Chains A and B, each alone.
Chain A
Amino acid sequence: MSSLHIVNKSPLSHSCLDECLSCCQQGDELLLIEDGVLALSSLKPQQLDKLNALGLQPYVLAADVAARGLSTRLLPPFQSCDDTGFVDLCVKHPKSISWF
């Protein structure tokens, strides 16, 4: 049963993303919201490796990216997701797990 993992903390100043990645499995997806979108410009190489190894698609919440002035940093593998997309991801996966 796949999960949507929702992370709202910076990957550099908090362990949330690392803890999340250690619990993910193939088929899961990752949504970065609030300070989590800072990963667009500060993902650690080990974190990127882990994402790739799991084939984990990272989404970033569009409103949070725009608010933080990071729109120009939005590059693959990250994909933008609006609020409707957030709801759709929650519908798609049988459960969501919030990391805060």
Chain B
Amino acid sequence: MKFSLLVLAAPYSDQSVGTALRFAQTLLQQGHEIFRVFFYHNGVYASNALSTAPQDEANIPRQWQQLAQDHNIDMVSCIASALKRGVLDESEAQRYDQPCHNLIAGFELSGLGQLVEASAQSDRVVSFGA
């Protein structure tokens, strides 16, 4: 079955980011497929490459990045949510004349149309809220 996930929770603040990750890992193990993970609201912090966790805590953006790499999953952070929260890719950093970019590799910034499409294309959409 084809799933999409909507992640709104903030890493390191809300447990739901971790619940979503376990859910994603489990459904892939069961042979289901992920069409897209869409990060919205505070969820976009999960795509900040500069997140630096202490050694005894998980690096949440890297966990999602690993999942994306291992299973070739489309990970999208909402561009409007991300820019406001200081998560930029190279082209947005150039466009807004910012000194650096920090979108973690494996993610892309895009608009809400990607969420709408995910909802239309997937058998199931599961939201992980704040």
Contacts and interface: CB of A to CB of B under 8 A. Distances in A.
Interface in B4-25: 8, 15-16, 19, 22-23, 25
Nearest to A88: B30
- Measured as residues with beta carbon below 8 angstroms from the partner, the interface class of chain B is 20 to 34
B67 interface: no
Contacts of A8: 15-16, 19, 129
Give the interface size bracket for A toward B: 10 to 19
A62 B57 CA distance: 21
Given A8-B16, A34-B15, A34-B19, A87 B27 contact: yes
A91 B125 CA distance: 11
Given A84-B26, A95-B125, 16 more contacts: A8-B15, A8-B129, A33-B19, A34-B16, A61-B19, A83-B22, A83-B23, A83-B25, A86-B23, A87-B30, A90-B27, A90-B126, A96-B125, A98-B128, A100-B127, A100-B130
Contacts of A86: 23, 26
Nearest to A33: B19
Interface of A: 6, 8, 33-35, 61, 63, 83-84, 86-87, 90-91, 95-96, 98-100
B124 A63 contact: no
A61 B67 CA distance: 22
Contacts of B124: 90-91, 95-96
Interface string B115-130: 0000000001111111
